[in-house]
Amino acid sequence: MYRQTEATRRNAAQRERTIAEAARALVTASGFAAATVKSVAASAGCSPGLIYSYFPHRDALLCGTFAHASGHELAAVTRALTTAPTTAEAVAALVDTFLTRALAGARLADALLFEALPPAVEAERLRFRADYAAAIAQRLDEGIAAGEVPVQDTSVTARALVGALSGCLQQPIHDEGRTHFTGAEAARLITSMTTFCLAAVGAPPRKDPP
């Protein structure tokens, strides 16, 4: 009976990471439509057959790619939320991190937030939106316990913040298809959304807006 060795498992995991990174790079450059099995295999330097040994069909590949790419963004947002010392600073850090990364990588943001996707991948998108909201709600719960923001239904507030942050990007990066933003444009959007989000959670406004 064949048993995988530790080296075999490490090699398999490395191949899967290589495939995931190749797919993420394609999506970052050209969206999910560009992430065909053939193109991912070419980018990863492997055969399409090897792709199918990890992902049984293209929807599975796209789901894995979406999870891989979104996981990077969710990790950055979670770090921003958890390292800020106060709730107001956490909300400001959330807005700054989410929008700075989205505007700097507008093609990827459009793919993750707005691109039409197969139903299975759309379900993955909804799950990640829920994960974003859960991270925000947890930080707001801590703020309520510390007396920094008023008592509220943090689940509702958090989902509203996710919707607002996503929604403010629809016109520039999806409807208009823009991929470049000046520092001044980014600063104006971040300032406006920070003011909005702080008010939404009942936190005091910033005294020193960027």
* pLDDT-based confidence at residue 4 (cuts at 50, 70, 90): low
Residue 1 has pLDDT above 60, yes or no: no
210 assigned to some structural domain: no
Give yes or no for a contact between 88 and 198, defined as CB atoms under 8 angstroms apart: yes
- Percentage above 90 pLDDT, the chain: 80
Average pLDDT, rounded, for the chain:
93
50 assigned to some structural domain: yes
DSSP state of 33: G
Residue 17 is predicted with a pLDDT of 86
Higher model confidence: residue 176 or residue 2? 176
Residue 148 has pLDDT above 70, yes or no: yes
207 assigned to some structural domain: no
Residue 210 has pLDDT above 70, yes or no: no
206 assigned to some structural domain: no
Rounded average pLDDT over 109-124: 94
Separation of alpha carbons 142 and 81, rounded Å = 11
Residue 87 is predicted with a pLDDT of 97
56 assigned to some structural domain: yes
174 assigned to some structural domain: yes
Tell me the pLDDT tens digit for each residue of 55-90.
999 999 999 899 988 999 999 999 999 999 999 999
Cα torsion 151, 144, 74, 131: sign: negative
Q: Find the domain containing 90 and state its range.
A: 6-201
31 assigned to some structural domain: yes
* pLDDT-based confidence at residue 171 (cuts at 50, 70, 90): very high
Number of domains in the chain: 1
Residue 12 is predicted with a pLDDT of 81
Can you state the angle between helices 119-145 and 87-104, rounded to 10 degrees? 150
Rounded average pLDDT over 176-181: 95
Residue 45 is predicted with a pLDDT of 92
Domain at 169, CATH number: 1.10.357.10
Separation of alpha carbons 31 and 205, rounded Å = 37
The long-range contacts involving 51-57, CB below 8 angstroms and separated by at least 24 positions, are 51/19, 54/15, 54/16, 54/19, 55/19
